Every structure is written in C-alpha cells, then in structure tokens.
Copies of this chain bind each other. A is one copy, B any other.
Amino acid sequence: MAMSIQERRERERAERERLIVTAARELAESEGWDAVTTRRLATEIEYSQPVLYSHFKGKDAIMAAVAVEGCAEIAAEMRAVRESATDPRQVLAGIGAAYAAFAERRPALYDVMFTHIVDLPFATPEAPPALQEAFGEFREAVRPFAGDDNLETLTETFWSGLHGLITLMRNGRLRREDHELRLAILIGRFSN
C-alpha cells in the first residue's frame, strides 16, 4: 500500500473541499449570498478563514463551484421532464416550467448560476459538462420548433426569455400573480 498516507491526505482534502462548497450552498440557500462571508463560512466548517484560500482562489471561486453543482441539478431535473413527456409541445412547456420552478425553489442557486458574475466559461467548449448538458436539454426541447431558425440561436433566445421572466419577477419588476400566464405566452410564441 505505498502512497497510502498521501492518498488519505488527498482524500481528506477533497472531503473538506466538498464540505466548503456544501456549507456555502446551504448558507446561501437559507440566508442569501450576503450572509455567505468568508468568516461565517469558516465558522460553519469549523476551520479558520485562510483554509478557504488554500482550496479556492477567493470567494468568487467558491461561488463558481456552487454554481457548477447547481447546473448538474437543474440539468437532471430537465432531463427527467424531457424523458417523461413525448408530445413536443408538452416537452417544451414542461422544460420551461421545470426551469422556472427550479429558479423559484432555489433562488440563491439560480442567481449564482446565471445572474451573478462568476468567471466560469459558458458559451465555449470549456464550459462545465453539467452546464452543457443543461443547455442540451433546452436544445432538444426546442428542436422540433426550429423551422428555418438556427437551432443554437433559437435555443439561446428561448432560454433568455425564461431567464428574463424569472429575474424581472424576482426583483419586483413584474407582478408575481401573472407568472404562469407569462410563461404560457412565452411557450406559445416558441412552439409553432
């Protein structure tokens, strides 16, 4: 069992890294990102502040790690929806609803994924697989309605529509009551 000591150390280190990301995520989801300070996070994981910086370059990198987790989660939820429906219209509507529901259920997670400025590669091949998978779900849902439009671009536009609905509503720019109605209109305009 050569290397076993080093292996144990690396394993413990990896565990602690997950601990940090999980703590950041839970704290953000329960009290918002403003509550996620490096001091608070350090207290939460029962280590001192500088430990965080031995794992991540800074707070932004921690947030980026949380964002990647979120991408995997939303991708899984969208995939489940797409596999459970067959009618293309239902798929598109389901995907849209699932996306919006995710944003509603996990606002902090959604923000760090799509509104906060974190230096994650996005629209490039170097983007995290989870992110590409999530976008792929959108693409497959949109495909049946592409028509003459470029599929990628159409998908981006549909995604933007959802994102706009969500962010404007959450900032208080749109009345909450009409959310479902707006969602239906958006789906309608993209499914014909």
Contact = CB atoms under 8 A, between A and B. Distances in A.
Given A122-B173, A172-B122, A157 B153 contact: no
The contact size tier of chain A is 35 or more
Contacts of A150: 181
Given A164-B162, A164-B165, A165-B164, A153 B181 contact: yes
Interface in A19-50: none
Contact of A165 (B157, B173, B189): B157
Chain A at the B interface: SS class: helix
A134 B122 CA distance: 32
Contact of A171 (B115, B149, B153, B173): B115
Interface string A140-178: 000000000110111011011111110110011111001
Given A161-B161, A173-B123, A153 B185 contact: yes
A186 B157 contact: yes
B157 A185 contact: yes
A159 B178 CA distance: 14
A61 B160 CA distance: 29
Given A114-B173, A123-B173, 17 more contacts: A115-B167, A115-B171, A116-B171, A122-B172, A152-B178, A153-B181, A153-B182, A156-B168, A156-B174, A157-B161, A157-B185, A160-B182, A161-B161, A161-B186, A163-B164, A164-B167, A189-B189
